[in-house]
Amino acid sequence: MDMKRRKFLKIAGLSTIAGIGAPAAFERLLNGEVPTISHASSQSESHSESEKPTGKRYGMLINLKTFREHQGMAEKCVKACHTVHNVPDFQNPKDEIKWIWETPYENAFTSKSHYYKNEEVHNNDALVLCNHCDNPPCVRACPTKATFRRDDGIVAMDYHRCIGCRFCMAACPFGARSFNWRNPRGKDEKSGRYFIDRATYNKEFPTRMRGVVEKCNFCVERLAKGLQPACVEATGHTKALIFGDLNDTNSEIRRTLSSNFTIQRKPEAGTLPSIFYIL
Amino acid sequence: MYDSKLVITGLAIFVILMTFPLWYNGGNAGDLPKVEKPTNYKQCVEDAAYMRTSHMVLLDDWRDEALREGKREKVKAGDIEVEKSLMNGCMMCHVDKAKFCDQCHQYAAVKPYCWDCHFVPKETL
């Protein structure tokens, strides 16, 4: 037979690949496992109304209208949260730690582009925090289960287990997670200023340590005592932030949601956020 | 065996050096740590023997229950009820870390990293 070794090896290799791959492909096609049309993630995983949810799912409604009427209130919320949770202030955007913060409109709502925009909405910052997603990508990314979704919908963290790999930060589409590049209990070498204000820090809540990721915990420790989250408390009676159970049809948040037009951040990411906005 | 004299003397010196702490102290384990117990309270959440050997297991269990399962109901310790918390539970009675925790931890040469994040009572951060 007139065949070169090179040619023989080529044919042998190709037939092996075909032999291994073909039966599997045929089986899947014949069983109809491959859908003929693929869905975008936001379509296939919408909040289905047919399935009745059970248990609690905490959520929050942020009324940016009220925040625009009360200038300076958003800063108060940030301050309240960061004081209660001993969040360090490194005064450097590179290693900034934030649980709740203000961000320009186009950064918060990236997919909401307008040709003729409402100047007032666009020129005011939006208050953003962890969205406590129903389908949290950070939880799937975490290799140690340091971050997890509780039965009440809160995406919480166990800092003891965090190994600082920062996969969760890469997975979160909202940038809601911060890494402790420095020791939060330390102080600035030049000015001698402590990163956590010693006059106001909360002695009943721990700090974090260098090398762990941290984020908003929806004030689980305050909810356990029957209190509202610190940011909600900071808004007083303005109703700018409404916190409650999204699965309870009679809750204030559900009634407000059904009587107003609200949006979520980046619904196209398919993470099903629990934070809603009135613009 | 080549150089058997050198090898055997070398081994003997090695063994003597490695066991030095054992025979030098003559089996005496040193002064046992003296732990200062809280004066106002008589009873802990579990008996003393269990707490001595397994308090770290209890703390881990409390952490997982409180944090992951949301089971934050208080635990009975004699007449009082204690929060499932190191800072807001244990350290409410055992107020002095240096005279309680550190005594045994130093003796047993263990370095738990609790205090990297948690506050010691009366601590100024």
DSSP string, A104-130: -HHHHSTT---SS--HHHHHS-EEEE-
**pLDDT the model gives residue A116:** 85
Give contacts of B118 with chain A, Cβ < 8 Å: 206
Say yes or no to pLDDT of A90 above 60. yes
> Does the residue B124 lie in any domain?
no
Mutate to test the interface with B, among A142, A161, A194, A203 (most CBs of B within 10 A): A203
Same domain, yes or no, for B15 and B35?
Answer: no
**Do B18 and B35 reside in the same domain of the chain?**
no
Pair (B43, B103) in one structural domain: yes
CA proximity to A243, closest of A231, A258, A260, A261: A231
Given a cut of 70, whether residue A173 has pLDDT beyond it is yes
Outline where DSSP puts E strands in chain A.
Answer: 58-63, 100-103, 126-129, 147-149, 155-157, 178-179, 213-214, 241-245, 275-278
pLDDT at A51 over 50: yes
Name the minimum distance, in Å, from the CA of B121 to any CA of chain A: 9
pLDDT score of A41 more than 50: no
Chain B residue with CA closest to A155: the answer is B68
Chain B partners of A197 at a C-beta cutoff of 8 Å? Answer: none
Q: State the smallest CA–CA distance between residue B94 and chain A in angstroms.
A: 16
Q: Quick: pLDDT tens for A210-259.
A: 999 999 999 999 999 999 999 999 999 999 999 999 999 999 999 999 99
- A145 part of contact set with chain B, CB < 8 Å: no
How close does chain A come to B89, measured CA to CA in Å?
10
Write out pLDDT tens, residues B68-124. Answer: 999 999 999 988 999 999 999 999 899 889 899 999 999 999 999 999 999 987 665
Residues B110 and B79 in one domain: yes
CB A72 within 8 A of CB A223: no
Please state the rounded mean pLDDT for residues A250-279.
95
**B66 contacts in chain A (CB < 8 Å):** 224
* Percent of chain B topping pLDDT 90: 68
Q: Are residues B40 and B97 in the same domain?
A: yes
A164 contact residues in B (CB cutoff 8 A): none
Query: What's the predicted TM-score (pTM) here?
Result: 0.80
In a shared domain, residues B59 and B101: yes
Nearest CA in chain B to A158: B67
Question: What are the phi and psi torsion angles at A271 (to 5°)?
Answer: -95, -5
Question: Quick check: is B123 in a domain?
Answer: no
With contacts defined as CB-CB under 8 Å, which chain B residues touch A186?
Answer: none
Cβ-nearest to A196 among B67, B118, B125 = B125
Query: Does A145 score more than 90 pLDDT?
Result: yes
Q: What is the pLDDT of residue A40?
A: 45
Position A33 scores a pLDDT of 59
Q: Identify the band that residue A177 occupies on the pLDDT scale cut at 50, 70 and 90.
A: very high
User: Is pLDDT of A38 > 70?
Assistant: no
Contact B80, B92 (CB under 8 A): no
Task: Determine the residue among B61, B62, B68, B91 to mutate to test chain A binding: the one whose Cβ has the most chain A Cβ atoms within 10 Å.
Answer: B68
Test B68 with A148 for CB contact under 8 angstroms: yes
B68 and B54 together in one domain:
yes
CB contact under 8 A, B117 and A158: no
B94 and B39, same structural domain?
yes
Give chain B's domain count.
2
Report the pLDDT averaged over residues A110-121.
Answer: 85
A162 CB neighbours in chain B (<8 A) are: none
Contact of A55 with A247, CB cutoff 8 Å: yes
What domain range is B100 assigned to? 31-116
The residue with greater pLDDT, A205 or A55, is A205
Q: What percent of chain A has pLDDT over 70?
A: 92
Least Cα distance to A131 among A83, A99, A93, A95 occurs for A99
Task: Please give the average per-residue pLDDT across A178-194, as a whole number.
Answer: 93
- Cβ–Cβ gap A194/B63 under 8 Å: no
Site from B57, B118, B119 to mutate, A interface, most A CB atoms within 10 angstroms: B119
Check residue A47 and give its pLDDT: 53
In a domain, B121, yes or no: no
Element (H, E) at A26: helix A5-31
Yes or no, beta carbons of A198 and B116 under 8 Å apart: no
Cα-based torsion angle of the residue sequence A205, A209, A215, A217 in order, rounded to the nearest 10 degrees: -30
B17 & B48 share domain = no
Partner B contacted by A186 (CB < 8 A): no
B16 shares its domain with B36: no
